[in-house]
Structures are given as C-alpha cells and as structure tokens.
Amino acid sequence: MNLHQCVIDVAAKDPHRLAVADPTGALTYGVLDERANALARHLRELGVGKGDRVVIWADKSPDVVMAMQAVLRLGAAYVPTDGASPAPRVADVVGDCGARALLSTPGLLPRISGRLPADVPALDLAEDLGTASAPINESADPDDLAYILYTSGSTGTPKGVSISHRNAWAFVDWVVTELAPTPSDRFANHAPLTFDLSVLDLYAAFAAGASVHLIPSELAYAPTQLVDFVHESQISIWYSVPSALSLMMRDGGLLERTPPHGLRAVLFAGEPFAIERVRQLAGWTSARLLNLYGPTETNVCTFHEVVPADLDRDRPLPIGGAVSGDQVWAQRPDGTAAGPGEEGELLVDGPTVMLGYWGQPPHHGPYATGDIVQVLPEGGFEYVDRRDHMVKVRGHRVELGEVEAVLAAHPDVAEAVVVVVGSGMDARLAAFVLPGKGRKPGVLALRRHTAERLPRYMLIEDLHFVADLPRTQNGKTDRAALAAAARHPDTADLL
C-alpha cells in the first residue's frame, strides 16, 4: 500500500473530518487533499516526478504535512529538514540527495537563495495555488523511496536513511493493529518531523481517519504549556521521548490533574525511561503504556507493553520482542546467537529495514543496530549499552565526532572534545575547547559557527575553555575526566 493513500481515502469518504492541527491552524481531510493536489500539480509543472526527491525546510505546521502528502502523490520522496537547521546544511542536504526542488517558507527562503543549484527551484510551500485541481495519485512500488531522514554521521557528515513505502507501511500497519485507532482518536505529535517517531503520529492517524495535533518545537519542552496542550487538545494517543513525559511530570504538574478523558495509550521510545517515572505514570492513568524500540534504520522493531509486574523492577523496562513483521536476535562477538541471560548486539531483519543510506550501495540482509542487549529468560530483550561513541540526547542520535569536527574547524580552536552530561531530560552536550595559540574565541562566535553547520539537536549547551585537555596514561583524551568535570560546571572552567 502507498503511504499517501490514507489521506486520499478518508478525504473521499469524510472530507469535513479534522486531519491535522497546531496552535495556529487546522486542515480537514478535504482541504488537506485539495491543497496537496494543487501543490503536487505545481511541483509537476516544475518537473518533479516519480523517483525524485524534494527537500522540505520549515518549522512544523499543518502546511508542512500537506507538502509531504503533495510530494508523495507524485511518486516522489520528501526529505524533511527542521526550520531551525542552518541554510548551509540544508543546501548540503539538497546537494547530497540530488533534490529536484526545495519547499520552504517566506521567512527562510531568502537565506538559502544563491546556495542552491540553478536548476533547483525553491518555493513557498503554503503559497495559495487555488483548489480547482484534478487529483494526483501516482502509484509507488513497495520498494520505491518514500522519504529520507538525515541522522548524525560519525565521520562528520550526516547520513540519509532511505525509507521505502514498504518499510514505512510495515510499521504503520503494526501500529494500526496494535492500537486499533478510530476516527475519534486524537494523536499528539511531539517529535520533530525529521525524527522517525513522527511517522507513527502522522500515518497511524491518517490510516484511521483520526486527527494529529502538532506540538511546535518551541513548546516541546515547556512543561506547563505542554500539559495544557495535552488537555486542551484532548489527546488520546501520546508518543514521545521519555524526557518529555518526565518533564511534564516533574515541572508541568501533569500528575496533579486528572488525565484527559480520552487518553488511552502513552507510547515512548528513543531512550531508557526511569522506572520510577513509569511507576508514577501508571499510577496516574489507566491508559496503556508502551515502550517502543528501534533505530531510524529500522523504525520500531521491538516493543514492550508495561504490565503490573514491571513496576516492581529496579532496572529499566525491557525493549520487548519483535514487531512490524521483523525478526530480531542478539549476536555474540563470535557470530552466534546469544541465549537467555547472555548479551549480544541486536540485529534486525525484515520489512522495516531501510533501503540503505542515500548515495551508498543498497543495504541487504540484517541490520546491526550497534546496541548491546541482554536476552531475557522470559523472552524479549533488555537494552544494555552502545558499541560506539554515538550518544542520545532526548532521543536524538548524536555522533560526538561530528560535533567535535565542526568545533575544531573554527580558526580559533586547536582542539575540542564533546561529552554528554546528565541523562534523560537533563542530558546535554558540553564542549571543552582548547583555543589556538594566542587566540581568544568568543562564546557566541563558536555557537554561531556550530549553529551554521549542525542541526539544532546537535548544538552544545555548555562551552568550557581550557588551557589543557586531560590525557589518559596512553595519551588519549580522558573523556571520563571531562564528563566528570562537566557535571560540576563551577569547576569545569578551572581545568
């Protein structure tokens, strides 16, 4: 099934039903359908067709969701980039994926003019194109590209995870079976549209003819406002990183109010959820609590539903067993499958495994996640650790090497080391910068330098200038010592 078919089907049957809303506006299925057709036609006139890529650069909004639908209707693939992403990085993405067009907003378009190839038109995605337009619905093959999500790459350049209609649909299909959403459901969309969590919010809602309620990024970690949003939008299905839930509980007074009447499922993924918080959540709502797991390359490949016995645990929740038609297993270093009680790297094979990274040879066979898990005696898995330097900040993957490479490229910087401080909602990136000889880099100058090259979630929060970097006995940078220093900001500047 094509990912864009859902909206077309609901619009034909029930055009007045609410499809997507945010604090500034809303689109019914009928209007979403008409406008997607009009934009698709416009894009087609500019030469966009089957198999092409279109980059979307904008803050989240109902219009952006409409633009994604428009691109899919041409049999083309969309490539979302955050409105807060710097123009040079967006231009790099346009170049990397060989985009045929860029869709953006009037506030952003002037910033990228002159940075795009001459044959790549840049358009206002919300431009009024009228509504009188014949339907456009190019059929895509299951293995055709539907979208590309760019994630942090260890070598200093981002990687484009290429997802097909089959990949996306295998996951959405599982969600629809598991949650049985109905037209009266109201999904929250907390994650940015560049993050694969949003695939559930949008497409499970559309598959059921339900509505999805977008949370603008500025609101995403404002605790009291977020709690107000949950109530005002009468959310019935919530999905986010655990950090957002923790924040609402700790600083937003979530638990002090009765849950919204219709709340029936709370899903979380992207990082471990402190068991104490899960306990509090379970004490507050009778909604189902589901822990989902999967890297962008496979979307959700395992899940675990919280049961009463979990609440007595002192370890994090299990990540559970395979879903979305996938097979998962833990592989020991010698290549054999790990048995109960043993640890190994989690491998995933099946319909959700990506086509590959854009510009690299297609991916075949099982995907090795880089996550070390333990096989539980009762079946399923528990997350243990990472194999490499990839870290998570509120669910977002960050390769520390990519951030360090950008900092070190500044002319005033001799060397830079980036570490993660804290965990869960308090996790943040801290940088230790060794200035070049005789140089005095400014805090804002360095922030500007990184912001012009990295997406928002990869930006450092704490910046420390040091006269020397601590070394281990074998001469490597002592990351553990830096991480310890970063936890005590008052002393970090004295290193």
Residues that bind another protein (CB under 8 A): 23-24, 59, 83-84, 86, 216-223, 225, 228-229, 247, 251, 394, 425, 428, 440, 442-445, 447-448, 450-451, 456, 459-464, 493
* H-assigned helices in 238-334: 242-251, 275-284
Q: Hey, is 281 helix, strand or coil?
A: helix
Give me the residues paired with residue 159 across strands. 151
Q: How far is the CB of 258 from another protein (least distance, A)?
A: 20
Tell me how far, at minimum, the Cβ of 90 lies from another protein, in Å. 13
Nearest distance, CB of residue 136 and another protein, angstroms: 32
Chain-centre distance of CA 280, in angstroms?
26
Give all strands (DSSP E) within 425-473, no chain letters. Answer: 428-435, 462-465
Query: In whole angstroms, how close is the CB of 400 to another protein at the nearest point?
Result: 16
User: Which one, 363 or 456, has the nearer CB to another protein?
Assistant: 456
Partners of 151 in the β-ladder: 159
Shortest Å distance, C-beta 444 to another protein:
4
Query: Is the sign of the CA dihedral 394, 395, 396, 398 positive or negative?
Result: positive
When the beta carbons of 251 and 415 are compared against another protein, the nearer one is 251
* Separation between Cα atoms, residue 348 and residue 325, nearest integer Å: 11
Q: Which two tokens stand for residue 386?
A: 């990472």
The enclosing H or E element of 391 equals strand 390-393
Of the pair 362, 442, the CB lying nearest another protein is at 442
Name the region of 87 (left: φ>0; alpha: ψ -120 to 50; beta: rest).
alpha
Q: Which is nearer to another protein, 217 or 299 (CB)?
A: 217
Nearer to another protein, 263 or 431 (CB): 431
Least Å distance between CB 38 and another protein? 26
Residue 314 or 490: the one with the smaller Cβ distance to another protein is 490
Q: What is the DSSP letter of 437?
A: T
In sequence order, what are the beta bridge partners of 343? 374
The nearer residue to another protein, 91 or 330, going by C-beta atoms, is 91
- Minimum Å gap between C-beta 303 and another protein is 26
Cβ 317 to another protein, closest distance in Å?
24
Burial class (CB in 10 A: 0-12, 13-18, 19+), 385: exposed
Looking at the Cβ atoms of 218 and 385, the one nearer to another protein is: 218
In whole angstroms, give the CA distance from residue 492 to residue 486.
6
Identity of the residue, 87 or 161, whose beta carbon is nearer to another protein in the bound complex: 87
d(CA 79, CA 84): 15
Q: What's the rounded Cα separation, in Å, for the pair 220 and 226? A: 7
Cβ-count burial 388-413 (b if 16+ within 10 Å, e if not): eebbbbbbbbbbbbbbbbbbeebeeb
H or E, element range at 297: none
Closest among 42, 21, 262, 227 to 130, alpha carbons compared: 42
Shortest Cβ 445–another protein spacing (Å) = 7
